[in-house]
Structures are given as structure tokens and as C-alpha cells.
Amino acid sequence: MSQHIKIENGGYPKFDVEKITEGIFHGDVAALGRGITLVESQHKNHGPLAQQLIQNCLPKGVPSFRIGITGVPGVGKSTFIEAFGQTLLQMGKRVAVLAIDPSSSISKGSILGDKTRMETLVKEEGVFIRPSASGDNLGGVARKTRESIILCEAAGFDTILIETVGVGQSETVVHSMVDFFLLLQIAGAGDQLQGIKRGIIEMADLLVINKVDGDNIARAHRTKADLDNSLHLYPNKPSGWKASTALCSAIEKTGILEIWDILLDYERKTKSSGYWKKHRDEQNKYWLLQTIQNRLQSDFFGAEGVNEKLNDLVKEMAENKITPFEAANLLLDQS
Ligand code: GDP
């Protein structure tokens, strides 16, 4: 792959969109990786190339199942994805794993960056694993992940797993790009919600209790019963689907097939009710509006003189010469 990388004057790699498109259409994971690097690039010259690539890929996507997987660090996400991914591969699926990691831009680490994670899965044919995009903000990282999904689907990946850490706002973002949202938990002594916010439980289509092995088994069943009880208290979902609970041991690879059956049941039910398509249409609308918003914002703040004028107006506000509303209107009118 490296022979295709040419360096421009600015030190940024040059991308051959036609070649990458062709590679992606042939299911070539190196081309897919390169395409995602283009989509993730912050360089302004790369923006139009990335758009071209996405345009090329959009009509070619295979029908897919997009699955969000979340849970607090240590709950067993990567171990679960290894086991789940292997099972899917054995069924003849092609599996892409992408991540949204809100901490990666700060720590420069990544939930998937650690090479020891998913070490078996990563070696398998028919798998594509990509660590989280880095970026200054969650919105930007999310947009890139969304675009990466399009590229993966054009490369023939029919099962897309989007992993995120269940600690912050990233779940909402993941929820906006998946068909099904799976929350991993562990059997906890009394601490059944494990710091997971109520809103995240509400988003979940399935709560999977992991590490149901060894001494944990009895406790896990109690936790499951508690969770089943508390799920009754949550409002009905627009999908008409009732969230449920399942037990598994990612290490012992038990419970995995049962979980897949639940996902298939969801797919069947929401496809026949029409919700599946409606939900994807709504997500597309959401991303259309997000893109417009981002573009308007970056065009506005990127315009010449806006930052200087903004600083001047902030000073005037401090001196009570102008209100924030007048200042905003002045800025908007002049650009
Ligand atoms: P993540 O941070 O959520 O990705 O969690 P990891 O997959 O890295 O797992 C965290 C720790 O839990 C590791 O030491 C795993 O070996 C362990 N673990 C994961 N799944 C299981 C399981 O099903 N049973 C047991 N006993 N340990 C597990």
C-alpha cells in the first residue's frame, strides 16, 4: 500500500480517490483503511477528495446491520467483540469494528489503539478493525465514524460494530448511527447500574451481563432479575421493541448465539413494522442537518476578519457599549 502514498509539499499524503474507490469496491481492506484516513484527514485540501470518495461509496453499500456496543471500561467490550465477531465470521458475515472514543483526543490513546485488544479477531479474514478517529471534539469524531461506516459498507462489510466507552455523551452519538444498541454490564453487588446513566439504559435495546462464569454465575442471575424488574419502569421505545437482558461470558464464549438471535429478532420485527427504514431515514436527516450546521459554522468562523471583529465586539460588550444580541447580529450581517 505504501507505494501509493505520495507526499505533497505540505507534508500531507496525497490520495488517489479513483484507486481507493476501486479498491474499496473490491473489498480490499488496505484501500478501505486508506479511504478512512482520507475521511479523517484534517487537511483542507482533503475535504473535497473525501466528499468525492463518500459520494462514490454511498450507492454501493451492502445491506448492513449497524450495532452499537457500550459499557464502562473493564466490563469486557473488547473481549466480547472478539467472541461475538468470531461467531459472526463463522456465519459468513463480514465484520467491521469502529470506535468512538471521547477520551482519545485528550489522552491520544484510543480504546482500540492498544494493540493487545482483539488480537485474535484482528488476524481473521473478513474483519476490519479501526481505532477511533482522533479529533478535537466528539461531533467531529462522530461525523468521521459515520462516514467510515459508509466506506465499510461499500467494501462489503455487512455487520458494523461501533464500540464506545459508556461514560459520557458518546453513547448518544453512537445511538444516532446504529440500528441496535447493546449495553454491556457485569453482575454487581447492589450496584446494578454501575454508574451508567438512566438515559443510556433507556437507549439500550439489550442489556448483556458479561462475565457470567466461575463464582459470578449466581450473582449474575440475581442481577439479571433486578434488571428485568427495573426495565418495566422504562418508557416504551418508538421502535415498539422491548429491551431485555441476556447473560454471557465473553471469555468462555457462552451466550453469544442467544444474543445474536435477539438481534435477529429485532431486525425481523422492526423491518416488518417499517421502523428499521424509518429510523435510518431519521438518522440520515439528523446527519444532513448536522453537516449543514458544521459547514455553516466553519464557513462563518473561517471567513476573513470574523475573529478580529469578534474580539472587538467582546471588548465593546465588556464596556457595555453593545449587547450580545446586537453584536451577534452585526457579525452575522457583515459576513
Ligand atoms: P473493556 O475495557 O470493556 O474493553 O474490557 P476488556 O475486554 O479489556 O476486559 C477487561 C477485563 O475483563 C480483562 O481482564 C478480561 O480478560 C476480563 N473479561 C472480559 N470478559 C470476561 C468474561 O466473560 N469473564 C471473565 N471472567 N473475565 C472477563
Which residues of the chain does CATH 1.20.5.170 include? 1-60
The pick from 77, 79, 184 for probing ligand 1's pocket by mutation, whose C-beta has the most ligand atoms within 8 angstroms, reads 79
- Output the pLDDT for position 335: 66
Please write the tens of the pLDDT for every residue from 125-176.
889 998 876 666 777 788 889 999 999 999 999 999 999 876 667 777 888 8
Give the number of the atom of ligand 1 that is nearest the alpha carbon of residue 216.
Answer: 26
Q: Note the CATH number of domain 1-60.
A: 1.20.5.170
Q: What's the confidence (pLDDT) of residue 111?
A: 53
Residue 125, SS3 per DSSP: coil
Task: Tell which CATH architecture fits domain 61-272.
Answer: 3-Layer(aba) Sandwich (3.40)
Question: Which residue spans of the chain are classified as CATH 3.40.50.300?
Answer: 61-272
Task: Enumerate residues 6+ apart whose C-beta is below 8 A from 71.
Answer: 77, 165, 166, 183, 184, 185, 196, 210
Atom of ligand 1 nearest to the CA of 75: 3
In this prediction, residue 10 carries a pLDDT of 55
Distance between CA atoms of residues 145 and 147, nearest Å? 5
Q: Give the integer Cα–Cα distance in Å for 13 and 47.
A: 13
Could you tell me the distance, in angstroms and rounded to a whole number, from the CA of residue 267 to the centre of ligand 1? 28
Give CA separation, 247 vs 86, 155, 220, 253, 257, in Å.
18, 33, 8, 11, 11
Residues of the chain with confidence (pLDDT) below 70 = 1-12, 102-117, 133-136, 166-168, 189-197, 335
